[in-house]
Amino acid sequence: MDMHSTQKVHLDGRPMSEDEIRRGLKVGTVAGFLGMAWCAISMGVPLTMLMECLTGSGVLIGLVVTIQQLMMVVQIPSALFFEGLSSRKKLWGVLAIIHRVLWFIPAFIPLFFFDTPSVAATIIIIGIAVSALLAQICGPMWQSWMADLVPSRISGRFWGIRQSVVTIAFLVATGLSGWVLDLFPDPRKAGGSYVGFAIVFSVAAFLGILDIAVHMFVPEPKVGLYQRHQSLSGLIDRITTPLKIDDFRWMTFSVSLWYLACGIVGSFGIVYLKREFNFTYTELSMLAVSASLGPVIFGILNGYIIDKIGARAFTSIIMFLAPMMGLSWFFLSHANVGIFGFSISEPLLLLLIVNFFAGALGGGVGIAQIHMINILSPKSGRAMAIAVHWTVVGLMAAVGPLIGGMVMDYMTKNPSSLTIFTGVQFSYMHMLILVQIAIISFIGAPMMLKLKVRVGELELREVFGSIKVGNPLRGISVVSDIYQTALGFAPENIDDREKKHKEHKKE
């Protein structure tokens, strides 16, 4: 990593060396590894399945996600508060640990309220809401801390590498949690138990706390004067200023539509598979693991491509293609296929393959988003810009799970008479997939293309080849060289190839 950038200094004014920055990024990645294990359980299959066992309601399942998204509105007041602090790390650490401790609530509450699941669900939702509130208060602190620490020239590559590493933890935690849950009988059946859920959520809370502890060893650059304000004068202007920047505004709303549409499908896929195809917890975890492998393998590559062709072109392409993979749900049937002498569910096999590539593409959007936030946020008031971005994302994304839950409950009570060609009844899941495609591919992706092409980025037509010069394979050549360079066996420097391509285009 090339660390050449504006000199960073410690809180006490000492210059921060390149080695210290490198070490800090490595420690932060280790902490992220632990945090992602917590995330795999708290935001993944176990939480959805716990709420399914306690309530069975699509709206309540969606409400758990919606509450967490809505709490993003506190990022703006949080940013206002910590702008006057000389250090973000200490306060962030205290609040973040409390936020993670609260995740012992879903571990033990179902054990105490086994006979009254509605009471348990209510307490869990309240606990998650408080935890989410603290998490979002911490959000701007951590993001501005990392934005100040990570050199801008390697932003895409760093977040790509980090995603690949931390997603391994997501993979392992998801797989093991599904296996543990299957060791215990369904709580809704005679002799059932919530012990499996108690185990996985307790482990998640512990790892989440450890994540915060390790973060304390990551250096914190001194906060620039631009982040300090003596009064609340001009508050409205400070909040609205980022959205007056065309690129920042289009990026924010485009990404918000991505999260909104992803939330519409969100947790309801695994509920559908559990009900329609009787998937086990282990099989559901296998699907999450498959989706996690995509970012692990392609995370570094995605980050490299973002740095080379630009986040605008990269994200618009991914936002168009990724939702299309949801069409695979229309090909699910109740058949089994034989592989190496073993019989495996056809839906499981198909979704394992699709989820891998969908995960690789979706992970790229996350990397590009972080990269664009850092690049497009004004340096004067960056923390506020980050808070505004996530507030808009949170408010829009909060709508998605509720829409999905309402569609699920309505179509469950009023089943469709249509049957798709595989013999499976047209369901809420198929409807949700179609809505997701419409929102992301045909609204979100074109919105991303409204961003200006920045210096060093490629036009979309340059990626795929210019029709005017009559050679559509030229764009493929550019992309091919990027992949070869990222993998370490390019025949020539990619920058040279891009230069030649642009010169040829001028001719």
Q: What are the residue boundaries of the structural domains of the chain, listed by start?
A: 18-227+237-457, 458-507
Element (H, E) at 468: none
pLDDT (tens, 9 = 90+) of the chain, 507 residues, equals 444 446 777 777 788 888 888 898 999 999 999 999 898 888 788 888 899 889 878 888 888 888 988 888 888 888 777 766 777 888 899 999 999 999 999 999 999 998 888 899 999 999 999 999 999 888 878 877 887 888 877 777 787 788 778 878 888 888 899 899 999 988 888 778 899 999 999 999 999 999 999 999 998 887 654 444 444 456 788 888 889 999 999 999 999 999 999 999 988 999 999 999 999 989 998 998 898 888 778 877 888 888 888 889 999 999 999 999 999 999 999 998 888 778 889 999 999 999 999 988 888 898 899 889 878 888 777 778 888 998 899 899 999 999 999 999 999 999 999 999 999 999 999 999 999 999 999 999 999 999 998 877 888 777 766 434 444 444 445 444 544 544 444 444 434 444 544 554 454
In our burial notation (b when 16+ CB lie closer than 10 A, e otherwise), range 341-380 reads: eeeebbbbebbbebbbbbbbbbbbbbbbbbbbbbbbbeee
Alpha-carbon distances, residue 397 vs 259, 282, 491 (angstroms)? 5, 28, 44
- Write down the architecture of domain 18-227+237-457 according to CATH: Up-down Bundle (1.20)
Q: How far apart are the first and last CA of the chain?
A: 35
Question: Tell me, what amino acid is at 419?
Answer: T
Q: What's the CA gap between 269 and 259, in Å, rounded?
A: 16
- Identify whether the C-beta of residue 69 lies closer than 8 Å to the C-beta of residue 397: yes
Q: What's the CA gap between 141 and 349, in Å, rounded?
A: 42
> Phi, psi (5° rounding) for residue 422?
-85, -5
Q: What's the CA gap between 196 and 187, in Å, rounded?
A: 10
Axis-axis angle for helices 235-244, 246-265 (nearest 10)? 80
Tokens representing 449? 């293309």
**Torsion, Cα of 15, 17, 22, 27 (10° steps):** -50
Q: What's the CA gap between 208 and 37, in Å, rounded?
A: 8
Nearest C-alpha neighbor of 319 from the set 439, 401, 432, 403:
439
Residue 143: strand, helix, or coil: helix
| Cβ-proximal residues to 103 (8 Å cutoff; 6+ apart), any chain | 38, 42, 127, 131, 201, 204, 205, 208
Q: Which string of DSSP letters, residue by residue, matches 163-181?
A: HHHHHHHHHHHHHHHHHHH
Which residue intervals of 216-345 are DSSP H helices?
A: 235-244, 246-265, 268-276, 281-309, 311-321
Q: What's the CA gap between 359 and 291, in Å, rounded?
A: 4
Phi-psi region of 381 (alpha: psi -120 to 50; beta: other; left: phi over 0): left
Tokens representing 464? 């795929």
Tokens representing 342? 């073993």
**Torsion, Cα of 139, 172, 302, 143 (10° steps):** 10
